[in-house]
Amino acid sequence: MEAFEPVNTKVVTIFTCGPSIYQRAHIGNFRTFLFEDVLVRYLKYSGFRVERGMNFTDIEDKAISEARKSGITVKELTDENIDGFLREMHLLRILIPDHLPRASDHVAEAAEMIERLLELGIAYRHGGNIYFDPLKFPGFGKLYGLDMSRWPAKNRRFHQDTYPGAQWNLGDFILWHGYREGDPLSWETRIGRGRPSWNIQDPGMVGRHFQETLSIYCGGIDNLYRHHDYSIAIIESVRPYPMARFWLHGHHLFVGGKKMSKSRGNTLYTDNLLSQGYDDAEIRFFLIDGHYREKLFYTERAMRSAADKLGRFRKRVREISETAGRAEPQVDKRAGRIKETFRDRMDQDLEVRGAFDDISRELEAAGSWDLTPGAAAAVIAALREIDGVLGVIF
């Protein structure tokens, strides 16, 4: 645990890994985006001004493959999935980031970074592609804590944008896919014709929108393998300051004991839960009701339990609201205690479940309170402020 101090005291800068939009985002993906939303909302609740960027990965091997299977262009595929993603962000009450850059709009920035890496001798050309040599970057793997003693001294190259599994590719990773006949995506740049790989895209977008060390960088826990350390190595090779001060990673959602993923075919979407009668707030609550760094397990029973828990809470809030009527809030220690309870828990690395459960107990105790309309109005006002973070009560 560390006390949070932003790099820039005037604004907290955050960049979050957005969706790979070759397919629709499932609720496991949205668990990550929701923990990031709670983070942004809580920073604002705490008095900080926040500037957030989140990227759309609309250039990658998987998007090309999916578009070919569907018989449409990559742009048609990714535009459709971006539109759907934004609709679901609204459904789940996720604040829209200040910057939503697309990789396809930042090819020049990626190419410029690669050109500089070539000049520094950290990147090199091979077989029409361009690769990054991790041995040329001191401290490679520092975020993950990688044991570089196992790294082979001889060049081994990995050509794909992404690889399955939670293990490291011990070798050089691709930065630029050189053009080959029939490639559906390519750009003419100073380093040649081709397209940027997945791992150069985020540094290119970050470099354009944020010209200082980010206060916070977020993503899913799988980004600790073969992604965030790659991003750090790229951007810190060309800029003389750290990429980010704090790194936050959300854990996976599991179904049937296995991580929810498109490749396993065990995905659930917001539509599935809406069709079962759950509303947007109940879906959001299930996905945030737990610590973001811990695994979350989906079962029908767990989903129903979360919805019932939220329902009991909302019922108590309605009762207090009826007591308040149209009264103006009056200074009341119980309202102050609810806010203090919330802050104490949320300051402990966003302990959402603990905060919600503690407030629930406070409200249950309120059954024995002799609440005047003004005191009840003060409690409701405090809960409205808190719901500016949780987004599930009203």
CATH number at residue 57: 3.40.50.620
pLDDT band at 222 (very low <50, low <70, confident <90, very high): very high
Whether 165 and 94 map to the same domain: the answer is yes
Whether 133 and 215 map to the same domain: the answer is yes
Name the 3-class secondary structure at 131.
strand
Q: Could you tell me if residue 123 is inside a domain?
A: yes
Whether 166 and 237 map to the same domain: the answer is yes
Rounded to an integer, what distance in angstroms lies between the CA atom of residue 80 and that of residue 85? 9
pLDDT at 320 over 90: yes
Q: Count of domains in the chain? A: 2
The stretch 291-307 carries a mean pLDDT of 97
Buried b / exposed e along 185-222 (16+ C-beta atoms within 10 A): bbbebebbebbbbbbbbbbbbbbbbbeebbbbbbbbbb
Q: What pLDDT is stored for residue 256 in this prediction?
A: 86
Whether 335 and 212 map to the same domain: the answer is no
Rounded to an integer, what distance in angstroms lies between the CA atom of residue 346 and that of residue 367? 25
- Print the domain residue range for 320: 299-390
pLDDT band at 278 (very low <50, low <70, confident <90, very high): very high
pLDDT at 7 over 70: yes
Whether 255 and 106 map to the same domain: the answer is yes
Q: What percent of the chain has pLDDT over 70?
A: 99
The stretch 310-315 carries a mean pLDDT of 97
Model pLDDT for residues 163-211, shown as the tens digit of each residue: 988 889 999 999 999 999 999 999 999 999 999 999 999 999 999 999 9
Residue with tokens 């190419």: 111
Whether 243 and 363 map to the same domain: the answer is no
Model pLDDT for residues 359-392, shown as the tens digit of each residue: 999 988 866 678 899 999 999 999 999 999 999 9
Whether 253 and 333 map to the same domain: the answer is no
Whether 21 and 159 map to the same domain: the answer is yes
Q: Could you tell me if residue 291 is inside a domain?
A: no
* Residues facing residue 382 across a β-bridge: none
Whether 246 and 178 map to the same domain: the answer is yes
Whether 254 and 311 map to the same domain: the answer is no
Q: What pLDDT is stored for residue 44 in this prediction?
A: 98
Nearest to 22 by CA among 64, 85, 83, 72: 64
pLDDT band at 133 (very low <50, low <70, confident <90, very high): very high
* Residues facing residue 50 across a β-bridge: 12
Q: What pLDDT is stored for residue 368 in this prediction?
A: 63
Model pLDDT for residues 19-54, shown as the tens digit of each residue: 999 999 999 999 999 999 999 999 999 999 999 999
Q: Could you tell me if residue 285 is inside a domain?
A: no
Higher pLDDT, 262 or 233: 233
Whether 357 and 226 map to the same domain: the answer is no
Q: What pLDDT is stored for residue 186 in this prediction?
A: 97
Instruction: Specify whether the CB–CB gap between 20 and 65 falls below 8 A.
Output: no
The stretch 279-284 carries a mean pLDDT of 98
Q: What pLDDT is stored for residue 158 in this prediction?
A: 97
Instruction: Specify whether the CB–CB gap between 129 and 233 falls below 8 A.
Output: no
Q: Could you tell me if residue 2 is inside a domain?
A: no
Residue 273 CB neighbour total at 10 angstroms:
19
Q: Could you tell me if residue 286 is inside a domain?
A: no
Whether 233 and 373 map to the same domain: the answer is no
Q: What percent of the chain has pLDDT over 90?
A: 92
Q: What pLDDT is stored for residue 367 in this prediction?
A: 62
pLDDT at 328 over 80: yes
Mean pLDDT of the chain: 95
pLDDT band at 231 (very low <50, low <70, confident <90, very high): very high
Model pLDDT for residues 91-103, shown as the tens digit of each residue: 999 999 999 999 9
Q: What pLDDT is stored for residue 257 in this prediction?
A: 87
Residues with Cβ within 8 Å of residue 68, at least 6 apart in sequence: 184
Which pTM value belongs to this model?
A: 0.95
